[in-house]
Chain A
Amino acid sequence: MLAQNVELLSDDQIQTIHEASLGVLQEVGIRVLNETAREIFCRHGCQVNTQTGNVCFPQELVEKWRKIFPSTFRFYGRDPRYDITIPDDGPAIATTGIAPDVLDIENGERRRATSEDLSRIANLVNMLPGIDLFFVSTLLSDVPEDRYSLNSLYISAKKCLKPIRCGVNTVQNFKDIIALGECIAGGTEAFQERPFFYFGHTASISPLTINNESTSMVIEAVRRGLPSMAAVVPNSGLTAPLTSAGTLVLANAEFLAINILIQMVKEATPVIYYSLPATSDMRNGAFSCGGIESGILQMGCAQLARFYGVPSGGYAGATNAKLSDAQAGFEKGMSPMAAMLGGLNMVMLAGLIDALMVFSYPQLVIDSEIGEMIKRVYKGISLDNDELALDVIKTIGPGGLYIDSQHTLRHMRTATYFPDIASRQSWQKWWDTGKYDTQARALKRVWNILAGDNPDAFSPDVDAKIRATFSDSLYVSV
């Protein structure tokens, strides 16, 4: 394991940001558009301005509540084999969402995503070793929007045993996902014990706003004991100060506010310091989630999360590239690596291109490989006697070769990472076998996985039960 995280900020600097955020919460406050949330804040000692809806947080109150945040967050898979707890089992690699479009698997053209796409994606995520968490990647153009969550989770859970998160934006959607979870788990209690669906929400909106409908769902979920991931999404230059320090102060204040609300609803509810920091390009306003600033800001967020003793996670490795080209490669390589080295426990990087607007099949496979390499770095190196290899260094001595030693034989399958997509062929062999580029090799892998059986698909019994329960609201045939 990495001996220590790379610290972007000094202890003093972290303290400065923390205190600045406390100042923002106390003096500027958060505009809370949800009445129940305002009542909860008020009951616990925040100052609520009934005219503006602004809620100000006394510093001692924030200091008291932030100490209640639990130190771990557990993701349950439908199969316990895929359970993952952060920070202990991290870094966890996750897919990103939710894109309206895909690049068509056959012709590569951009079009709206369908349930057939999502079914394939879930199948791929289930089989790809570099991805731990499936955050539903696309919208479904063939499903009515008020049934989106139910249908996307049904399709996803049918193919993927890893923990699944989907977007929920209406109360109906929220009820649907709980009902589906209970149906799959075999009852309310069983689902509550292992809640393998996670809902992402945008209750917190930059700058300094807690919105209405999502917040109702957050409160309901927390009361039911269901895990909730509150995203903080500051956009430097637009919804946050352009400077990284200012963005961190704002994001940190927002993180504290929404997660203190969650604790006030139910103490010790697990939380994640969950963020999507990105800059806005001052030349044209473009959402620049592929910018290196996202990696830098995630290093800061991860460090702040450690300061509060909570797990961290979020987008690092979104890209503004339009295809799986070199830009996609370096944007999806550099920020995630920086974020992981900075201690980000959950790195969301896989599947999407074009500023999170398009899903790409080959990119998902490439990103799984990036995820595996990032984990490899995190794993670090072991220094036991066998790995130190002093004996073999002595035996071979100056001028020899290590390739035929017992030591090499013993370690040859595990000492190095074998990439699946990166090519190490000779030029001649690469040329003779069709001179495929990265994207083409990744697409071949996509087809290979999809051609195989997915042993983890729903049993026909479970499927029949779900179909019967939701006969009015399941629109998909996959």
Chain B
Amino acid sequence: MADLNAISNTLIKGDAGNLTSQVKAALDEGTAASEILNKALIPGMDVVGERMENGDMFIPEVLMSAKAMSAALGILKPLLTDEESKSAGRIIIGTVKGDLHDIGKNLVAMMLESAGFEVVNLGVDIAPEAFVEAVKEHQPNLIGLSALLTTTMTQMQKTVDALKESGLRGQVKILVGGAPVTEKFAQEIGADGYAPDAGSAGKLARSLT
């Protein structure tokens, strides 16, 4: 019988190499892929989330665990049914028009992936119309808008408005973030959620799906 607890611990340690061997070994021993996912990996990521929130794990450690999780999922996915491998949701994310900063947004994308989301990262300098097109194409549950420059955050409003005009606003929840963005600003422009830092983005996204 595979040691699911050991698999969890390896995931929490962020050791992708060992995790994939352990997952393979468990499969070889006859453990079901769904059991590894539900009894080792998901509980492991829950611990990671908790520890991050308590300040016991730092972001680089969380990202290592997320990478390990992703490597393990790569092995398990072909063995899972569609229902079993369903992600927490799909989110498209991008930095708004006129803003070329993508580092913070990419960090959030990594954190969202680690929270189980399928992330479509559109990149930087994304015009409102391009967000609308991406919503049509990818049919996401959520959309994440990022701005670092105080001069470009106004594009968030324009993007929210463009989604309204296109009639797609009701289909997606809109999250906003970035250094100049505040909860109040998020409310003013009609967004559904605001995360003050990358660490809380995953939790927020989960709460909205």
Decide whether A and B assemble into one complex: yes
Chain B, 142-159, CB within 8 A of any chain A CB: 149-154
Report the bound CA distance from A4 to B185 in whole Å.
48
Chain A binding surface, main DSSP class: loop
Report the bound CA distance from A238 to B108 in whole Å.
12
A145 touches B198 (CB 8 A): no
Report the bound CA distance from A63 to B127 in whole Å.
41
**B53 nearest in chain A by CB position:** A284
B6 an interface residue at 8 Å Cβ cutoff? no
**A101 nearest in chain B by CB position:** B182
Report the bound CA distance from A283 to B197 in whole Å.
10
A185 an interface residue at 8 Å Cβ cutoff? no
A350 an interface residue at 8 Å Cβ cutoff? no
Report the bound CA distance from A282 to B199 in whole Å.
10
A286 touches B197 (CB 8 A): yes
A355 touches B179 (CB 8 A): yes
Report the bound CA distance from A113 to B169 in whole Å.
29
0/1 interface trace, chain A 212-251, chain B, CB 8 Å (1 if under) = 1000000000000000000000010111000000000000
A145 touches B154 (CB 8 A): yes
> With A100-B180, A211-B100, A357-B179 in contact, is A285–B199 under 8 Å at CB?
yes
B88 an interface residue at 8 Å Cβ cutoff? no
Residues of B contacting A145 with CB < 8 Å?
151, 154
A357 touches B199 (CB 8 A): no
0/1 interface trace, chain A 149-178, chain B, CB 8 Å (1 if under) = 000000000000000000101100000000
**B154 nearest in chain A by CB position:** A145
A346 an interface residue at 8 Å Cβ cutoff? no
Report the bound CA distance from A190 to B172 in whole Å.
55
B101 touches A100 (CB 8 A): no
Closest Cβ of chain A to B63, distance in Å, is: 10
A169 touches B98 (CB 8 A): yes
B150 touches A285 (CB 8 A): no
A285 touches B151 (CB 8 A): no
A100 touches B103 (CB 8 A): no
B60 an interface residue at 8 Å Cβ cutoff? yes
Closest Cβ of chain B to A240, distance in Å, is: 10
A284 touches B60 (CB 8 A): no
A99 touches B150 (CB 8 A): yes
Closest Cβ of chain B to A82, distance in Å, is: 27
**A357 nearest in chain B by CB position:** B180
A62 an interface residue at 8 Å Cβ cutoff? no
A98 touches B150 (CB 8 A): yes
Residues of B contacting A285 with CB < 8 Å?
59, 104, 107, 197-199
Report the bound CA distance from A400 to B152 in whole Å.
66
The total number of A-B Cβ pairs within 8 Å is: 52
Closest Cβ of chain A to B101, distance in Å, is: 7
B167 an interface residue at 8 Å Cβ cutoff? no
0/1 interface trace, chain B 53-82, chain A, CB 8 Å (1 if under) = 001001110000000000000000000000
**Most chain B beta-carbon contacts within 10 A, residue among A110, A148, A284, A285:** A285
0/1 interface trace, chain A 109-132, chain B, CB 8 Å (1 if under) = 010000000000000000000000
A287 an interface residue at 8 Å Cβ cutoff? yes
Closest Cβ of chain B to A141, distance in Å, is: 9
A205 an interface residue at 8 Å Cβ cutoff? yes
B151 touches A283 (CB 8 A): no
Report the bound CA distance from A100 to B180 in whole Å.
7
Report the bound CA distance from A197 to B187 in whole Å.
36
0/1 interface trace, chain B 89-128, chain A, CB 8 Å (1 if under) = 0000000001011011001000000000000000000000
Report the bound CA distance from A99 to B151 in whole Å.
10
A167 touches B58 (CB 8 A): no
A139 an interface residue at 8 Å Cβ cutoff? yes
Query: Contact check: which of A110, A139, A205, A287 meets B179 at CB < 8 Å?
Result: A287
0/1 interface trace, chain A 196-208, chain B, CB 8 Å (1 if under) = 0000000001000
A100 touches B59 (CB 8 A): no
Query: Contact check: which of B107, B150, B182 meets A139 at CB < 8 Å?
Result: B150
Chain A, 236-268, CB within 8 A of any chain B CB: 237-239
A282 touches B101 (CB 8 A): no
Report the bound CA distance from A286 to B100 in whole Å.
19
A100 touches B150 (CB 8 A): yes
Report the bound CA distance from A145 to B182 in whole Å.
19
B101 touches A205 (CB 8 A): yes
Query: Contact check: which of A98, A283, A357 meets B59 at CB < 8 Å?
Result: A283
B104 touches A169 (CB 8 A): no
Residues of A contacting B153 with CB < 8 Å?
100
**A167 nearest in chain B by CB position:** B151
B103 touches A282 (CB 8 A): no
Query: Contact check: which of B55, B104, B150, B180 meets A238 at CB < 8 Å?
Result: B104
Query: Contact check: which of A101, A169, A238, A239 meets B149 at CB < 8 Å?
Result: A169
B103 touches A239 (CB 8 A): yes
Query: Given contacts A238-B107, A283-B199, A285-B107, could you give 13 more A-B pairs where the C-beta distance is less than 8 Å?
Result: A98-B151, A145-B154, A167-B151, A169-B98, A170-B98, A205-B100, A238-B103, A238-B104, A282-B59, A283-B55, A285-B59, A285-B104, A355-B179
The 3 tightest CB contacts between A and B, nearest first, are A282-B58, A100-B150, A285-B198
A-B contact pairs, 7 of them (CB 8 A): A100-B150, A100-B180, A101-B182, A148-B151, A238-B104, A285-B107, A287-B179
